[in-house]
């Protein structure tokens, strides 16, 4: 089976067997997790010819298959939309669905159309044992140019085809989201968006892809599907000669987006080497192990107060939580730690920006408030920004043998991840730690540290705990060697 060695539940195996029955091949190992995604709304940034259209068709086929019992119990058919910038953009998915339902014997040829503008597929799923039609499932094509048609129905699911196209606006996306929320009962319908990144056209699409990459907001998840996962066209996968030839010709950013399906980091970031697949892990607090808290207190009501929290497990520095807020007092932050964070009882060290720790938010300094409330003495020394950057960079360099990073970050550290350019900030904007730009807009060698609050908190800890580093400190090498 196309799913290969993946461990599947009986219901998942049944779904994939059904998909394979209608196509003759079924999804591959990279596509299966997307098909079986537990998230309600999914977004796929795919490389060219990665199989995005087939993936979208499989999504509708699977959801219909799983919903047959519900439709029968409610005495109704399902309704699904194929939405494109125009009708032609839905043609591939429409063709895949028509062939699939013909193969499994569910296509009602009399009620279905051949043309796609507009297109309609009717299924024979509501026919009882006596041959009487009780209800039917319908799949429609919708053009984004005719938004008025989107306000008349509440589909069970919407597939937005080539969502990165210029004519698929964020307003179209939001209209579709609104329509699926109107489905009666349960949690509402689902959205599935697929497209190739068109950076000059699809800023909202890239923003959603970054925002959803860690399963947030609730029920939303984004995926990347590389061109080379389509092994029917590229049997050598990532190392297929045709892929390697394209990689030699394309600029790095273009290859990353158009072939790997990964949003490229903004040009001029200080830490472009920090990557989701290497440095972001679902690390958790380990009770009983020492917890280290480090902070860069905000200087004004507009400046974030970044409090980052880590443990060193098996020699790996794991940033597993943060309190990244604006306009809060030190007392309020400590209260949050003491009342909502189970790791509060295991704090063994507090590191603060030595300049900010003496800052007075009230009658007492930040360090004095921490000591009065927790008994923790704030440590930390002044760190020149160039030395901080070099130290931070040392600890995100993967081990040459294991490929693991000495330092990883939890998706919960959203403020820190936003400064690293991996997710949008709290306002939905991309504002990572960048190099300043010259008059022509080119990056200089001078860092602009306005968006480096959490990053600074991290390097204050690294310098205090391990010392300055141009190469990984011997102490850290010894600790990290245990897990490498």
Q: Would you state the structure tokens that stand for residue 285, as one six-digit string? A: 């607090």
Q: pLDDT digit of tens for each residue in the chain (484 aa)?
A: 445 556 889 999 999 999 999 999 989 999 999 999 999 999 999 999 999 999 999 999 999 999 999 999 898 999 999 999 999 999 999 999 999 999 999 999 999 999 999 999 999 998 877 888 889 999 999 999 876 667 778 999 999 999 988 889 999 999 999 999 977 666 789 999 999 987 666 688 988 999 999 888 889 999 999 999 999 999 999 999 999 999 999 998 899 999 999 988 888 999 999 999 899 999 999 999 999 999 998 766 677 899 999 999 999 999 999 999 998 999 999 999 999 999 999 999 999 998 766 665 556 889 999 999 999 999 999 999 999 999 999 999 999 888 899 999 999 999 999 999 999 887 777 789 999 999 888 889 999 999 999 999 999 999 999 998 644 444 444 444 333 3
454 and 328, same domain (yes or no): yes
Q: Could you tell me the CATH number of the domain that includes residue 318?
A: 3.30.420.280
Query: Do 296 and 393 fall within a single domain?
Result: yes
* Same domain assignment for residues 101 and 194: yes
Structure-token pair, residue 9 = 């539940």
CATH, residue 213: 3.40.50.300
Please state the φ and ψ torsions of residue 365, each to the nearest 5 degrees: -75, 165
Domain boundary among 227, 245, 264: 264
> Per-residue pLDDT tens for 300-350?
667 789 999 999 999 999 999 999 999 899 999 999 999 999 999 999 999
Q: 49 lies in a domain? A: yes
User: Do residues 34 and 83 both lie within one domain?
Assistant: yes
DSSP string, 24-67: SS---TTTHHHHT--SSEEEEEE-TTSSHHHHHHHHHHHHHHHH
Same domain, 322 and 443: yes
Long-range contacts of 468-476 (CB under 8 A, 24+ apart): 468/387, 468/390, 468/391, 469/390, 469/391, 469/394, 469/395, 470/390, 470/394, 471/394, 472/394, 472/395, 472/397, 472/406, 473/394, 476/315, 476/395, 476/406
Give the domain range for residue 392.
291-480
Residue 2 lies in a domain: no
If asked whether residues 200 and 345 sit together in one domain, one would say: no
Do 387 and 423 lie in one domain? The reply is yes
Beta bridge partners of 307: 295, 323
Smallest CA-to-CA distance from 335 within 289, 285, 310, 372 is with 372
Number of domains composing the chain: 2
Mean pLDDT, all residues of the chain:
90
Query: Tens digits of per-residue pLDDT, 26-57?
Result: 899 999 999 999 999 999 999 999 999 999 99
pTM above 0.85?
Answer: no
> Where a domain ends, among 246, 264, 282?
264
Strand partners, 365: 360
343 and 200 housed in the same domain: no
| Alpha carbon 300 to chain centroid, angstroms | 31
């Amino acid at each position: 089976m196309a799913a290969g060695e993946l461990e599947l539940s009986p219901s998942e195996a049944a779904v994939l067997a059904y998909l394979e029955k209608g196509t003759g091949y079924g999804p591959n190992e990279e596509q299966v997790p997307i098909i079986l995604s537990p998230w309600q709304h999914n977004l796929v940034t795919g490389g060219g010819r990665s199989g995005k259209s087939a993936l979208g068709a499989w999504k509708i086929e699977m959801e219909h298959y799983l919903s047959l019992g519900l439709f029968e119990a409610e005495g109704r058919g399902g309704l699904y939309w194929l939405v494109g910038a125009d009708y032609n953009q839905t043609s591939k998915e429409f063709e895949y669905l028509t062939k699939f339902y013909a193969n499994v014997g569910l296509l009602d040829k009399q009620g279905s159309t051949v043309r796609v503008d507009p297109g309609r597929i009717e299924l024979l799923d509501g026919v009882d044992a006596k041959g009487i039609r009780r209800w039917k499932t319908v799949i429609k094509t919708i053009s984004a140019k005719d938004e008025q048609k989107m306000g008349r129905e509440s589909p069970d699911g919407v597939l937005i085809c080539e969502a990165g196209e210029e004519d698929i606006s964020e307003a179209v996306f939001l209209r579709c989201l609104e329509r699926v929320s109107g489905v009666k009962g349960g949690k509402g319908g689902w959205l599935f968006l697929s497209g190739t990144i068109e950076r000059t056209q699809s800023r909202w699409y890239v923003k959603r892809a970054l925002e959803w990459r860690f399963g947030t907001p609730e029920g939303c998840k984004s995926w990347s599907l590389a061109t080379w996962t389509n092994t029917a066209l590229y049997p050598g996968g990532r190392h297929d000669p045709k892929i390697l030839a394209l990689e030699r010709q394309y600029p790095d950013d273009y290859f990353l987006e158009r072939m790997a399906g990964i949003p490229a980091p903004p040009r001029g970031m200080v830490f472009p080497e920090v990557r989701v697949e290497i440095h972001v892990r679902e690390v958790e607090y380990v009770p009983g192990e020492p917890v280290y808290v480090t902070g860069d207190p905000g200087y004004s009501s507009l400046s974030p107060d970044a409090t980052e929290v880590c443990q060193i497990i098996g020699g790996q520095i794991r940033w597993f939580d943060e309190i990244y807020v604006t306009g809060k007092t030190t007392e309020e932050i400590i209260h949050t730690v003491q009342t909502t964070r189970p790791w509060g009882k295991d704090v063994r060290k507090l590191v603060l920006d030595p300049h900010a720790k003496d800052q007075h938010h009230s009658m007492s300094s930040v360090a004095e408030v921490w000591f009065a409330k927790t008994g923790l003495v704030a440590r930390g020394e002044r760190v020149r920004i160039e030395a901080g950057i070099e130290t931070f960079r040392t600890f995100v360099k993967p081990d040459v043998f294991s490929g693991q990073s000495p330092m990883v970050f939890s998706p919960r550290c959203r403020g820190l991840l936003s400064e690293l350019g991996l997710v949008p900030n709290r306002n939905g904007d991309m504002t990572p730690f960048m190099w300043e730009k010259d008059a022509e807009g080119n990056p200089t060698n001078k860092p602009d540290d306005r968006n480096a609050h959490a990053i600074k908190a991290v390097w204050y800890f690294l310098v205090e705990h391990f010392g300055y580093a141009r190469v990984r400190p011997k102490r850290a090498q010894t600790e990290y060697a245990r897990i490498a």
